[in-house]
Amino acid sequence: MYPKDFPTATDHNYDMDDMGLWVCQTCGHSVKIRRGGVCIGVPQFHKWDEIPNTMATKTTLSKEHGLRLAKNQQPVGAKVKYNHRGKATGGYYPLYAITDATPKKQISPQQFDALEKARHMAEKLVVTWQPLTGGNHSALGDCQATLKVIKEMAGCNDDS
């Protein structure tokens, strides 16, 4: 999610700190030269270890806590995204308060039965490889057999 997409986005509220940097009082973003820009409106964290235990991403809420976002639940923080070289991408992972989230809906008995039936059918399904006519399951053999089929389809009967 990018700053302009955050529902809490506003303008930065910069104040100068003791080191001579301009620091946004809302999100903690710091710059050497005071410029405009979009503030995400919530505290931002640079490392996963910095995130308090009271916040989680949408995925973590779902997988680890069995929760989903409440209606109109807003982010209360953001984790800065980095690329594989360690450079900030300009995007954020929104973080949500765990206490504000609601439990996931449980599936009905009919849905559970349908899932079990599908799993059972998937176990019974046997996938077998169909041999390519003229091929021998080697890369070269199958390529030559495929080329032969294409030539037959195109109407070329020469074996060159």
Residue-wise pLDDT for 135-149, tens only, equals 787 888 889 888 888
d(CA 3, CA 24): 14
Evaluate whether residue 62 is within a structural domain. yes
Mean of all residue pLDDT scores within the chain: 84
Same domain, 68 and 35: yes
pLDDT value at 115 more than 90:
yes
Between 110 and 6, whose confidence is greater? Answer: 110
The answer to the question of residue 88 being in a domain is yes
Q: Which of 52, 36, 40 is nearest to 8 (CA)?
A: 40
> Are 86 and 144 members of one domain?
no
SS3 state of residue 51: coil
The domain tally of the chain equals 2
Cross-strand bridge partners of residue 97: 55
Asked, for residue 128, whether it belongs to a domain, the answer is yes
Whether 24 and 90 share a structural domain = yes
> Does 99 lie in the same domain as 26?
yes
Express each pLDDT in 55-83 by its tens digit: 999 999 999 999 999 999 989 998 988 98
Instruction: Name the residue range of residue 71's domain.
Output: 3-103
What is the C-alpha separation between 65 and 54, in angstroms, rounded? 12
**DSSP letter string over 124-157?**
H----PPPPTT--SSHHHHHHHHHHHHHHHHT--
Residues 6+ apart with CB under 8 A from 141: 135
Q: Are 45 and 53 in contact (CB under 8 A)?
A: no
Q: Same structural domain for residues 8 and 68?
A: yes
